[in-house]
Amino acid sequence: MDYIQERYKEQLPAKALRPYVDCFWSSLAPAHIAPVTRRILPDGCIDFIFDLSPSSSCEGKVVGTMTRPLLFQITDSVCLVAVRFRPGGAVPFLNFAADEVTDLQCELPREWRMTRLADRLRNETTLSGRIHQLESALLDRLAETLPVDKRVQIAVSMIEQGHKRIGAIANEVGTSRQHLNRLFRQHVGVGAKCFGRIVRLQQLLAHVETAKQANWSFAALNVGYYDQAHMVTECRSLTGLTPTELAAR
């Protein structure tokens, strides 16, 4: 890890939010003597992030689904509180399609900023209080939101379970391959095939974290790559690093 003093925590959402929200998360770290560069890798999700650091005046931002790594430099103390949506789960809380913010960061929609949620988060003195404020804000908006598109929800689940043939998945949810890709771009931020690539990457990362000694040929086949060369090409495309370089971090 780039710096050992970071405190990162995740918390599951209330049951009513679980079709939409993967988790709430926080990241706290003191100021650093030297700048630290952090590399965030694609995970297929959209986040709402609130930077509560003393030097920040951020009212909250949307970080879109990523198809490439996000690099940012830390030069001051870090105090982030955020919600990570499930793939397809953020759009009901937005007023635009997910692909409008793919590989981008933008301010929260106006209706969110008007609630002055960032100020309420800053006024809380504990992490649990901040998570409670964020969860309450989502629950308050839940009655005004549309449900997650069932076709997208089922297709996401199938891809996460290892189904790779997009045409077969489209048939399963009762639509065409082209329409399924449009739905994915609208609700997830990327097409179904690209989402599958990101899922495989995350499965590879999980393997790297748990394996005592990397067996790249086994890892490639285990998570669904054609061979080791395919794995290296895909990993470099999505992260900017080879699997060996990732494992060394």
Q: Domain residues of the chain, as ranges? A: 7-142, 150-247
Q: How far is CA 39 from the centre of its chain?
A: 13
- Write the pLDDT tens digit of every residue in 94-147: 989 999 999 999 999 888 877 889 889 999 989 999 999 999 999 999 888 888
249 residues of the chain, pLDDT tens digit each: 344 456 889 999 999 999 999 999 998 877 765 677 889 999 999 999 999 987 777 789 999 999 999 988 776 778 899 999 999 999 999 989 999 999 999 999 888 877 889 889 999 989 999 999 999 999 999 888 888 999 999 999 999 999 889 999 999 999 999 999 999 999 999 999 999 999 999 999 998 887 667 788 989 998 999 999 999 999 999 999 999 998 887
Q: In this structure, what token pair is assigned to residue 201?
A: 């990457």
Question: What pLDDT sits at residue 215?
Answer: 85
Residue 186, pLDDT score: 98
In the block, which residue shows the tokens 């003597």?
A: 33
CA distances, 23 to each of 9, 13, 172 (Å):
10, 6, 28
- The structural architecture, per CATH, of the domain 150-247 is Orthogonal Bundle (1.10)
Q: How far apart are CA 139 and CA 14, in angstroms?
A: 9
pTM of the shown model: 0.91
Q: Is the dihedral of CA 121, 124, 126, 131 positive or negative?
A: negative
CB 67 within 8 A of CB 104: no
Gap between the Cα atoms of 203 and 211, Å rounded: 12
Q: CB within 8 A of 232, min separation 6: which ones?
A: 242, 243
Q: Which two tokens stand for residue 92?
A: 């009901």
What pLDDT does 145 receive? 86
Q: How much is the pLDDT for 113? A: 76
Residue 130 CA to residue 127 CA, distance in Å, equals: 5
Helix, strand, coil tally for the chain in percent (to 5): 45, 15, 40
Tokens read off for 248 = 């060394």
Return the HEC string of 57-112: CCCCEEECCCCCCEEEEECCCEEEEEEEECCCCCHHHCCCCHHHHCCCEEECCHHH
Whether the CB-CB separation of 198 and 184 falls below 8 Å is answered with: no
Cβ-based neighbours of 132, under 8 Å, separated by 6 or more: 124
